[in-house]
A and B are shown apart, each in its own frame.
Chain A
Amino acid sequence: MALTPAVKLEPVSLREIVGEGVRWASGTDRDTLGTGIDCFDRALEGGLPTGVLCELVAPSPSSGSQTMLLRLLEMARRRRCFAALVDGSDSFDPQTSPPELLEHLLWVRCRSLNQALQAADTLLRDENLGMILIDLRECGEWSLRRARSSVWYRLQRLGGKRSAWVVICTPRSIVPSSQIRLALTGRLSLEQSDDPSREIAESLTFDALRLRKQEMGDFPQMIQAG
């Protein structure tokens, strides 16, 4: 009995299969949020894209993570979209935040990491929110490491379906599914305590630890039987 030849598999893009008669929602359609912080925008080649899970690592005390979150809230306010802050350890201080940044903000005060992850999961399913900030900086590294990786991947998938900016602030590199991971490298000093908030934010420095451009790419590839 003659054997049938082995099926030859070759990667073919969806564009080749479907043809050119359709309009493609490509990665370049993602909205990008410029923060005005040179180091941040340069690291991300223009700014923070929507639909991407960004992990902001703040390893040392007073590294400026709260300042960065406020800066992102300011940008969301300018873009006229509602924002949510999932406060994993109930540490956000509205008294030191400019009042105009609180008008469009939904503050979710959590008492545990589990609550914060559940709240984030719920918020990521709501298309009313243009920005979702998940602050887990004070949640404790031990409990963060115990969180199942499937939880992080679910958050990433939910974020990928949405045209929202999603940022998770952590004390260490923990989120395995983040497409972007930036680490705050500087430290705030007492000398800056009287400076304008804008200047303090612009003085922040970042290291890009991860930029998974392929995951932020255009369309899926398919394997077609030859």
Chain B
Amino acid sequence: MYAVVDIPRFALQAVSRMEEGLVGKPIVLVDASLAKPSVIDCSVAAERLGVFSGLSLPQAVARCPEIIVRYRSEKAEASAGRALFDCAYSLSPQVEETYLGVCSIGLDGVNRSGLDERCEEIVFALQGLGLKGRMGISTTPDLALLVARESKRVMVVGGDLSQGRGGCPQRSSKMEFGTAACGQSHGGSRSLKAFLDSLSLVAAEPSENLHSILAQWGIHSAGAFVGLPREEVGKRLGKEGLDFWDRLSGRDERPLRVSALPEYYRESLDFEYEINVLEPLFFIIRRFLDSLCLRLRRAALVAESLDLELRLADIQLDDGERVESARLSLKIPDPNCDADALFSLLSIRLENLDTDSAIVGIGLEIYPVERSENQLGLFETSLKDPHRFSQTLAQLAGIVGPDNVGRPVVEADGRPDGVKLERLPSTVPPANSVGGTDSRGMALRRFRPPLDADVRTRDRRPVWFRCSRAGGAIGAFKGPWAHSGHWWEAGGWNRLEWDVELRTGGVFRLVKERSQWMVEGMYD
């Protein structure tokens, strides 16, 4: 058995799904690469107003002045094609990208019970991604395609969905016309004969020559043609007629060219017009995230970080610099594949983003990781709501910058003020000894950057200092302590440190490096 997902008017749907508010409106699709732009596809609303494919653009506008004109977009079609493939992949891994807008699915080994309901779910998922699709299930890929084109949402022809798990391909493909396929089967399937009787010969797409001969014979439906004896068809119409007969009767079962699930998680689109407000951008980002998260779920992965590229209109700034794009990188504190959560994170960051010019293109890439499912320990510290925390982090990153939020981690080389910020994990293991006796000394309140200081010394010991925050006679001191590292390369340090206490109160850390005195902080 095979299933086929078909997206009618695929090129048009691929473009219109990227824009809000186009549903139900008269739209025509124009190929910009042609010298004289002509209509290559149009919506149902446009058809009602007398527009059809092949008209020139002025003709279409003359028939319908309020018509919306959009250019065909290869990137939009590729994006819609990937979304279609991802949806089809949820049914079975044997998916063939037959051509743009059509995916054929092999159902060998797929549990048949409830198959029609799962197909309904696929159609529903496609609808969520902005694609109106339909599905057909039958004994061969070609028949399934014909069934899909005749169905409203999901139609099953010539198959019994009550069989449980599908067996070997031979068993299902050898169903003869008029025997196994007869009668209504469980799951609402039609018999192949009844379906072919109702199918016009034109819908089965015979060649022009074949169609004219059959029309002269008085054969107008696929069922009437398949009712002819195969040998007689072969004698009169030759190989072409036999192939057509085999295709319609389900005798010819071609193998699928199975494609693998793409391993990249990137979507991109160039706009026809410049965008300078957030709403249309949010709409497209949401579409991208829906598609990418669906693909992540199929591959059992979760998003660890996002990279958003906004391609800007080509303008030259006052200082002569050209800015081509703005980039936004986002780490996800709790890796997940929830489109809602990722969208809220991105939207929060975008609200604080200013670009130098309007946006003409967008690219969104997700860097995935494998999902790690761990049993929480009784004594671990864990976040109550990781999604909410992700939003908070995004907001904080918008306020103080993404490099200024995180968990502090001290660098191992002991570099002065050597600290980096890491992502705060959603779960922290229990500490073995908190506030144990190992910890000694006072906490430093660091001045960043260290303050330049005037220092008076006696016998190489500081006796007085002054900086912008404090100063006076030194009543007591400890040190000096030599502290050096990485002196053999750039970025090294070699310094002497004193802890000094002013007579008026206050304990400070005094540092001498390359004959320069500095106050590094105050013990507090």
Q: A residues bordering B, Cβ < 8 Å? A: 58, 60-67, 69-70, 74, 77-78, 80-82, 90-111, 115, 118-119, 122-123, 125-128, 137-138, 187-198, 200
Query: In the complex the two chains form, is A100's CB within 8 Å of B506's CB?
Result: no
In chain B between 90 and 139, which residues have their CB closer than 8 angstroms to a CB of chain A?
A: none
Measured between C-beta atoms, what is the minimum distance from A131 to chain B in Å? 12
A194: chain B residues within 8 A (beta carbon): 440-441
Query: In the complex the two chains form, is B507's CB within 8 Å of A188's CB?
Result: yes
Query: In the complex the two chains form, is A106's CB within 8 Å of B430's CB?
Result: no
Does B434 count as interface, using CB distance less than 8 angstroms? Answer: yes
A103: chain B residues within 8 A (beta carbon): 407, 428-429, 431
Does B477 count as interface, using CB distance less than 8 angstroms? Answer: yes
Query: In the complex the two chains form, is A137's CB within 8 Å of B445's CB?
Result: yes
Query: In the complex the two chains form, is A96's CB within 8 Å of B442's CB?
Result: yes
Q: How far does the alpha carbon of A9 sit from the alpha carbon of B67 in the complex, in Å?
A: 68
Q: How far does the alpha carbon of A70 sit from the alpha carbon of B442 in the complex, in Å?
A: 10
Q: A80-B381, A107-B407 are in contact. List 20 more A-B contacts (CB 8 A).
A: A58-B524, A61-B502, A67-B524, A70-B443, A82-B383, A93-B417, A93-B521, A98-B434, A99-B410, A101-B435, A103-B407, A109-B405, A119-B396, A119-B399, A128-B384, A187-B505, A193-B507, A195-B441, A197-B441, A198-B437
Query: A62, A98, A111: which contacts B506 (Cβ < 8 A)?
Result: A62
Given the known A-B contacts A95-B410, A128-B389, A128-B392, are A62 and B505 also in contact in the complex, defined by CB atoms under 8 Å?
yes
B421: chain A residues within 8 A (beta carbon): 107, 109
Query: In the complex the two chains form, is B521's CB within 8 Å of A106's CB?
Result: no
Does B328 count as interface, using CB distance less than 8 angstroms? Answer: no
Does B478 count as interface, using CB distance less than 8 angstroms? Answer: yes
Please, could you name 10 A-B residue pairs with CB atoms under 8 Å apart, sorted by A? A62-B523, A67-B443, A96-B443, A98-B434, A98-B435, A103-B431, A108-B405, A190-B476, A195-B441, A200-B442
Q: How far does the alpha carbon of A90 sit from the alpha carbon of B113 in the complex, in Å?
A: 62
In chain B between 420 and 473, which residues have their CB closer than 8 angstroms to a CB of chain A?
A: 421, 424, 428-435, 437-448, 470
Given the known A-B contacts A109-B400, A127-B388, are A91 and B408 also in contact in the complex, defined by CB atoms under 8 Å?
no
Query: In the complex the two chains form, is A108's CB within 8 Å of B392's CB?
Result: no
Query: In the complex the two chains form, is B522's CB within 8 Å of A62's CB?
Result: yes
Query: In the complex the two chains form, is A80's CB within 8 Å of B379's CB?
Result: yes
Does B197 count as interface, using CB distance less than 8 angstroms? Answer: no
Given the known A-B contacts A61-B506, A122-B395, are A102 and B409 also in contact in the complex, defined by CB atoms under 8 Å?
yes
Q: How far does the alpha carbon of A37 sit from the alpha carbon of B522 in the complex, in Å?
A: 22
Query: In the complex the two chains form, is A81's CB within 8 Å of B381's CB?
Result: yes
B440: chain A residues within 8 A (beta carbon): 194-197
Number of interface residues of B (CB under 8 A): 61
Measured between C-beta atoms, what is the minimum distance from B312 to chain A in Å? 27
B31: chain A residues within 8 A (beta carbon): none
Q: How far does the alpha carbon of A66 sit from the alpha carbon of B421 in the complex, in Å?
A: 20
Does B500 count as interface, using CB distance less than 8 angstroms? Answer: yes
Query: In the complex the two chains form, is B424's CB within 8 Å of A82's CB?
Result: yes
B309: chain A residues within 8 A (beta carbon): none
Does B499 count as interface, using CB distance less than 8 angstroms? Answer: yes
Does B418 count as interface, using CB distance less than 8 angstroms? Answer: yes
A138: chain B residues within 8 A (beta carbon): 445
Q: How far does the alpha carbon of A104 sit from the alpha carbon of B406 in the complex, in Å?
A: 10
Query: B404, B418, B442, B444: which contacts A108 (Cβ < 8 A)?
Result: B404
Q: Which 5 A-B pairs have the closest CB atoms?
A: A61-B506, A66-B524, A94-B408, A190-B501, A109-B404
Measured between C-beta atoms, what is the minimum distance from A57 to chain B in Å? 13
A69: chain B residues within 8 A (beta carbon): 443
Q: How far does the alpha carbon of A196 sit from the alpha carbon of B440 in the complex, in Å?
A: 4
Query: In the complex the two chains form, is B507's CB within 8 Å of A189's CB?
Result: yes
Query: A118, A126, A190: which contacts B499 (Cβ < 8 A)?
Result: A190
Given the known A-B contacts A102-B407, A128-B384, are A123 and B392 also in contact in the complex, defined by CB atoms under 8 Å?
yes
Considering the complex, give the chain B residue whose CB is closest to the CB of A127: B384
Query: In the complex the two chains form, is B522's CB within 8 Å of A61's CB?
Result: yes
Q: How far does the alpha carbon of A99 sit from the alpha carbon of B380 in the complex, in Å?
A: 17
In chain B between 370 and 422, which residues have their CB closer than 8 angstroms to a CB of chain A?
A: 379-381, 383-386, 388-389, 392, 395-396, 399-400, 404-410, 417-419, 421
Chain B CB count within 10 A is highest, among A58, A188, A194, for A188
Query: B433, B438, B477, B524: which contacts A62 (Cβ < 8 A)?
Result: B524
Query: In the complex the two chains form, is B410's CB within 8 Å of A60's CB?
Result: no
Chain B CB count within 10 A is highest, among A64, A66, A128, for A128
Given the known A-B contacts A60-B505, A67-B524, A188-B524, are A105 and B407 also in contact in the complex, defined by CB atoms under 8 Å?
yes
Given the known A-B contacts A80-B380, A93-B445, A93-B521, are A187 and B406 also in contact in the complex, defined by CB atoms under 8 Å?
no
Query: A102, A118, A193: which contacts B408 (Cβ < 8 A)?
Result: A102
Chain B CB count within 10 A is highest, among A60, A62, A97, A191, for A62
Measured between C-beta atoms, what is the minimum distance from A40 to chain B in Å? 15
Query: In the complex the two chains form, is A100's CB within 8 Å of B431's CB?
Result: yes
Given the known A-B contacts A188-B523, A190-B476, A194-B440, are A100 and B445 also in contact in the complex, defined by CB atoms under 8 Å?
no
Given the known A-B contacts A62-B507, A90-B448, are A126 and B400 also in contact in the complex, defined by CB atoms under 8 Å?
no
Measured between C-beta atoms, what is the minimum distance from B63 to chain A in Å? 55
Kindly supply a per-residue 1/0 record for chain B positions 57-96, scoring 1 wherever the CB is within 8 Å of any chain A CB and 0 otherwise. Answer: 0000000000000000000000000000000000000000
Measured between C-beta atoms, what is the minimum distance from B60 to chain A in Å? 52
Query: In the complex the two chains form, is B418's CB within 8 Å of A95's CB?
Result: yes
Considering the complex, give the chain A residue whose CB is closest to the CB of B385: A128
Query: In the complex the two chains form, is A188's CB within 8 Å of B442's CB?
Result: yes
Measured between C-beta atoms, what is the minimum distance from B450 to chain A in Å? 12
Considering the complex, give the chain B residue whose CB is closest to the CB of A91: B445
A197: chain B residues within 8 A (beta carbon): 435, 439-443
